[in-house]
Amino acid sequence: MDAIEIKQLEKIYTEGKKALDDISLVVPEGTIFGFLGPNGAGKTTTVKLLNGILNPTRGEMRVLGLDPVSQAEKLHQSTGVLTEHAGMYDHFSGIDNLRFFGQLFGMTKAESETRGMELLEKLGLTDAAEVKLKSYSTGMRQRLSLARTLIHRPKVLFLDEPTSGLDPESTKSVNELLLELSKEEGTTIFLCTHQLRYAQEICNEYGLMDNGQLLALGSLEQLRRRTFDHYKLIIETDVMPPSLNSKRIRENVYEFSFQEKAEVPQLVKAIVQQGGNISQVTPMDYSLEDIYFALLEGGEEHV
C-alpha cells in the first residue's frame, strides 16, 4: 500500500503566494523518502498539508488512506510529525515529557516510560533523562523532540530538518535510528532535509522541489541516469598518454568521462601499452549533491 498519496496538490497562501503548484507523488509503505529542495521550495508547506495543519487550495491527499483535512484526529494516532516548533514542557525532565506525551496517545505510564527510556538511549540522552528540559542544549532539545515524535510508534513519520543544528555524532545516531525504524518496524519516513550527504545514506526514494514544483522523483540510480549520461573514473598512473582524453586532477591522478563501461578495459590497456604503471582505478558515482545541483541548474520540466 502507498503510505502517502498526493494528487495535483496546490497551496496558495492568503497573501497570494503559490507555495505548491500541482504536486503529485506517492510514497510506498516502508520507504525513507528524501524531500529535497532549496529554501522556500515548498517542503514545510507539504508537511503541514499532509498533517492537516494547513488546508490545500486544490488537489487530493491521503496518508495511510486517510484524508488529513477531515480525518486529522484519527490520522494523528498513527503518524508523528517533527517541525521546528515541537511544544514540550521546560519544567519537566526529558523522561517526564515523554511519559506525558505517551499517555496523551493512550499509552500507560509504564509503557511510555519503557519506550521513552529506550528512545533516550538510542538518541544518546540517557544521562539527561532526569534533567529538566530548560537545561537542555539546542541539540539535546531537538533529539528529545524526535523521541517525542516516536513515542507512540507511528507508522508514518514526517521529519522537517531533524538533524539541522546537530553535531555529526548526534546526526549519526538519528540516522541510525531512522534506518532501524524503517528496517525493523517498516516505518515510512518523509524526510525534509538540506543535508544531502546524510540523506544519501538513508533514503531510498527522493523528490526534488524547487519553487513550488516537483522537479524530479525517483531512486538515486534513476535520478543519476536521468541527470548524467556518462560515468566518471579516476586513474592513478605515473605515465598518462596525452592522446587519451583525460583531465589531470593532481600529480599522477587523472579523471576520465566515458559513455559505456565497456570502454574501461580499453582505456587501461592503452595506458599500460604506453608504459604507464597504474596503481589505482576508482569508479566515481555521482553523489546526491551532484544530482541535486545539476537538476536545479538544469531547471528541468517538472514531473
Ligand X SMILES: Nc1ncnc2c1ncn2[C@@H]1O[C@H](COP(=O)(O)OP(=O)(O)OP(=O)(O)O)[C@@H](O)[C@H]1O
41 φψ region: left (φ > 0), alpha (ψ -120 to 50), beta (else): alpha
Give buried/exposed letters for 230-267 (b at 16+ CB in 10 A, else e).
ebbbbbbbeebeeeeebeeeeebbbebeeeeeeebeeb
When asked if residue 51 is in the footprint of Mg ion (CB under 5 A), the reply is no
Contact segment (CB under 5 A) with Mg ion among 36-44, 98-106, 230-238, 253-261 equals 36-44
Residues in 74-133 at the binding interface with Mg ion, rule: CB under 5 A? none
Q: Could you tell me which of 261, 250, 252, 251 has the C-alpha nearest to residue 283?
A: 261
Number of neighbours of residue 165 by Cβ within 10 angstroms: 13
Near ligand X by CB under 6 A: residue from 3, 27, 43, 145: 43
Element (H, E) at 182: helix 168-185
Near ligand X by CB under 6 A: residue from 39, 138, 243, 273: 39
- Least distance (Å) between residue 287 CB and ligand X: 20
When asked if residue 41 is in the footprint of ligand X (CB under 6 A), the reply is yes
| DSSP class of 135 | G
Of 113 and 160, which CB lies nearer to Mg ion in the complex structure? 160
Facing residues of 2 across strands?
Answer: 28
Contact segment (CB under 5 A) with Mg ion among 42-50, 75-83, 177-185, 282-290 equals 42-50
Which of ligand X, Mg ion, none does residue 42 bind (CB under 5 to 8 Å by kind)?
ligand X
When asked if residue 175 is in the footprint of Mg ion (CB under 5 A), the reply is no
Rounded alpha-carbon distances, angstroms, from residue 60 to 11, 44, 139: 11, 17, 36
Contact segment (CB under 6 A) with ligand X among 39-47, 94-102, 225-233, 283-291 equals 39-47
Contact segment (CB under 6 A) with ligand X among 37-45, 88-96, 145-153, 292-300 equals 37-45
How far is Cα 75 from Cα 224, in angstroms, rounded to an integer?
35
Contact segment (CB under 5 A) with Mg ion among 43-51, 64-72, 213-221, 252-260 equals 43-51
- Least distance (Å) between residue 35 CB and ligand X: 8
When asked if residue 45 is in the footprint of ligand X (CB under 6 A), the reply is yes
Which of ligand X, Mg ion, none does residue 59 bind (CB under 5 to 8 Å by kind)?
none
Residue with cell 500541482: 22
How far is Cα 279 from Cα 284, in angstroms, rounded to an integer?
16
Which of Mg ion, ligand X, none does residue 170 bind (CB under 5 to 8 Å by kind)?
none
- Least distance (Å) between residue 56 CB and ligand X: 13
When asked if residue 37 is in the footprint of ligand X (CB under 6 A), the reply is yes
When asked if residue 296 is in the footprint of ligand X (CB under 6 A), the reply is no
Near ligand X by CB under 6 A: residue from 17, 134, 183, 261: 17
User: 3-class SS at 60?
Assistant: strand
Element (H, E) at 269: helix 263-273
Cβ-based neighbours of 300, under 8 Å, separated by 6 or more: 215, 216
Near Mg ion by CB under 5 A: residue from 31, 44, 83, 246: 44
Dump strand ranges (E) for 103-204: 156-160, 188-192
Question: For binding to Mg ion (CB under 5 A), which residues are involved?
Answer: 43-44
Question: For binding to ligand X (CB under 6 A), which residues are involved?
Answer: 13, 15, 17, 19, 37, 39-45
